[in-house]
């Protein structure tokens, strides 16, 4: 006699749900706010304030920052075009503050290059032929 075995059940169906939309990366306009609309509280943690001030001081201690101050007067600065120094007292997450510092520092790098009004460096005693050519350098 023939015995009929039940057919195996198909594997359970996987329910695939669409992933939650990722938050959009902040636009440059949002990285240089004059007033932070999301800020309703002020940071009071002294350790965090000291660390933030240290990051701001690193930016202010650059040649690019000094040239930026010299070339763009405070009255001539345009909001959303010229960045302001990030406010260390805004109560925002570390990642948001770090993004603002990063954007501010990158903008300051635009002023790192030598302005056209400065004199060129004095030519070296050794030419490129001396360094790469047949003659040994004279010490």
Residue range 61-112, pLDDT digits in tens: 999 999 999 998 888 888 888 888 999 998 889 999 999 999 999 999 988 8
Q: Provide the pLDDT for residue 124.
A: 47
What b-and-e string marks burial along 2-26, b requiring 16 or more CB atoms within 10 Å of the CB? eeeeeeeeeeeeeeeeeeeeeeeee
Residue range 20-43, pLDDT digits in tens: 666 655 444 455 555 555 566 888
pTM score, two decimals?
0.56
Contact status, residue 89 vs residue 40, Cβ threshold 8 Å: no
Residue/partner pairs of 66-70 with CB below 8 Å, 24 or more apart: 67/111, 67/112, 67/115, 68/108, 68/111
Contact status, residue 38 vs residue 89, Cβ threshold 8 Å: no
Q: Provide the pLDDT for residue 5.
A: 75
Q: Provide the pLDDT for residue 123.
A: 46
């Amino acid at each position: 006699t023939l015995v009929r075995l039940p057919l195996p059940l198909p594997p359970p169906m996987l329910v695939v749900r669409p992933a939650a939309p990722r938050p959009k990366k902040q636009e440059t306009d949002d990285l240089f706010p004059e007033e932070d609309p999301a800020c309703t509280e002020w940071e009071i943690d002294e350790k965090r304030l000291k660390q933030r001030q240290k990051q701001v001081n690193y930016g202010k201690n650059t040649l690019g920052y000094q040239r930026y101050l010299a070339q763009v007067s405070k009255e001539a600065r345009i909001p959303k075009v010229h960045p302001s120094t990030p406010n260390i007292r805004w109560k925002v997450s570390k990642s948001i503050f770090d993004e603002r510092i990063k954007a501010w520092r990158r903008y300051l790098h635009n002023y790192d290059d030598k302005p056209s009004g400065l004199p060129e460096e004095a030519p070296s005693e050794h030419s490129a032929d001396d360094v790469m050519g047949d003659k040994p350098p004279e010490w």
